Amino acid sequence: MKWLQSKGRRLGLLFPQNPNRSVLKKQPPVTGLGDHHKFDGATGQIYSESTAAIQTSDDSNWTRQTELVVGPEYRNSGDAHSFVSTTDHNELDLGAYHHHLDGLKNTRIRGAKGARSLQDSAIECILHNISDVTYEGISCLPLSLVRQLWHAVSKRCLVSFDTWLMFSKLLRKQDGATLSLHRYRQAIEKPLSSLHVYTTPLTSTSFEFITSLSITSSVDLPNLVKISKIVNLGVLEIINDTTKDLLLPVSDRLLRAWHMSTLNDGTFRVLRIMRLWNHKELTNKSLAFINSFPVLAIYDVRGCPFEGTKIDTKNLGWRSNVEPNVLDLLEAACVERTMIMRESMGVESKPVRRASARQLRDDATTKKMPRAETQAFLTREETCVRGSPIADYDKMQRKVNSVIKREKAVIGHDMVWMFLDNSIHSKTRALETWEFTTYTSFARIGELRNDTDLARSGVDIGDDAILVGNDFIPPVPLVSLRLGPIPLELQVNKNLHKPFYTSVYSEEFDEPTFKYDPKEKHDTPSSRTLSFIRIKLPPPVQKKLKVTSSEKSPSVVSANAVPIASDTASTSSLPSPAKRRRTSIMKNKKKNLGDMLNSFR
């Protein structure tokens, strides 16, 4: 009886299935070897097969290589666990930064529901061929579409130097531009080509950008001499890693060659920072050559044998110091400048508080301010408001003091400062990139000088200053390139705070315990820290008038006179009348001697 059958069977009899309908059958499990495993039926052997890209023998196309310009990933970093949650820095929240990074990785353009629009399809096609896009081909597009392209390129992490330069020219002067359009960084851990392969694209005679070059790998002397051809070089860093068998040929002779190039060819016009570390052949004799660099502000010679310096640097306009963190000195100079401006304006003198320098995020929005209003911005009342104290600072200090009192022979002052520095500044340390110190120092020098040094060198700084939050950034984009690995000096305690004054007194102890002792041995690889700083610009080079050869009298100056620099005037100006008479007498003597010798033939 059919009604006694199961419900499924009865429904099958009442509604028979379509015989043409395909019936899904259970497939047997796949027991293949995989895509990269192969089986040789003749021999019965199983082997793996993989495809690898051909390794290039040089870095001739390094400008087309993509780099992650949004910053490092700290999800697996040990610094991420040392964040101080009580510090009031909402803009640097670690979770928000990770969310920002996640939004920039492995994303694609997605439109609304339905088929992709023609515009999105066109953008997708451009992204697949972004390395072949030229400035002329993209400059004709509407700015709204260019912004959308830049946003998509940043999400795909397809930002190479050529791509960044193309979008930076088009978008950085627009309102709402991000900081990523004003700076670029790239590190080549193992350079394969000669130095000129990297420096040629970094050279801009029109100062569209300023170059920051860091060299930590082996480079021969002729290539180092040719660095002077980078007319837009603003930061030069050559560090000799003492932990490796690496010897860079940086010496007094190299400084003298750059000195002659500056006098004869007018090179290094925008060089503000020069860091030459751990070079045994660089001595105090090089101080005689640094005054030829017109806008040089920092000459850092850490680890170089400058023993027994006989040159009075104060008379040359320089101030020497042994503070390992030069950036803190520039920060203090900015505060001192603000207080001097307040006093000159007749404003009530109040202590100015300024937060220590921290890493600026690439997605931060820039804003413009007329340069005439910068003084009022720096001296506003908000700068005189006391900041909130760091939570648990007294607790940390009491703990360190008790440890020192109990184990004074074991723990040195370096370890104490390292502990406090990591505890207080751990949040900003985790976000710092390798060029943070040089980039921020370059910006602080521009703030102290109001970028007049760049304007004097022929750089178009514009009528507006550029800010990110409360920090001024360079008016011209800065491109940072590092050739070689990060040396040990920049990895360990790269921004260690060690002031020479005594720290705050604790409630339990009346004696200061954190006073810096210059006789104490340091734990850093380079125990000798020495740098020379010159914030005040030297007087501009006096110019003289070069008289053309068409003039008959040297005392008369015609309208065709050409101005020349005073350092080349001695070789190009006309000689004195007495010197011309001596020259004519010598020519006559040579001529008479030649006639006499010919008479013997």
Q: pLDDT (tens digit, 9 = 90+) per residue, 116-154?
A: 888 888 888 998 899 899 999 999 999 999 999 999 998
Ramachandran sector of residue 168 (left: φ over 0; alpha: ψ -120 to 50; beta: rest): alpha
277 forms beta bridges with 239
pLDDT at 226: 96
- Alpha-carbon distance 255 to 252, whole Å? 5
Confidence of residue 155 (pLDDT cuts 50, 70, 90): confident
* Cα(449)–Cα(498) distance, integer angstroms: 26
Condensed to tens digits (0 to 9), the pLDDT of residues 63-86 reads 998 755 444 333 333 333 333 333
Per-residue model confidence (pLDDT) at position 323: 86
Task: Report pLDDT digits (tens) over 311-332.
Answer: 667 778 899 888 888 998 999 9
Please report the pLDDT score of residue 542 as a whole number.
52
Which residues are bridge partners to 215 per DSSP? Answer: 238, 483
Q: What's the whole-number average pLDDT of the chain?
A: 74
Average pLDDT over residues 89-99: 46
**Cβ-contact 446, 465 below 8 angstroms:** no
Q: Say if CB 514 and CB 272 are below 8 A apart.
A: no
Query: In this structure, are strands 233-239 and 531-533 parallel, antiparallel, or unpaired?
Result: unpaired
392-422 pLDDT, tens digit each: 666 667 767 776 676 665 555 556 666 666 5
* Residue 323 structure tokens: 């503070």
pLDDT higher than threshold 60 for residue 2 = no
> Which amino acid type is present at position 508?
E
Locate 491 and state its tokens. Answer: 């990895």
Say if CB 322 and CB 530 are below 8 A apart.
yes
- The tens digit of pLDDT for each residue in 563-576 reads 333 333 333 334 44
The single residue listed with the structure tokens 């030229």 is 134
pLDDT at 160 over 80: yes
pLDDT at res. 423 = 57
Residue 315: predicted pLDDT: 79
pLDDT at 294 (0 to 100): 94
Per residue in 223-272, pLDDT tens?
A: 999 999 999 999 999 999 887 777 889 999 999 999 999 999 999 999 99
Query: pTM for the complete prediction?
Result: 0.70
DSSP per residue over 416-431, as a string? Answer: HHHHHHHHHSHHHHTT
pLDDT at 489: 73
pLDDT tens digits for 497-548?
Answer: 433 333 332 333 333 333 334 444 444 434 478 999 999 988 775 544 443 4
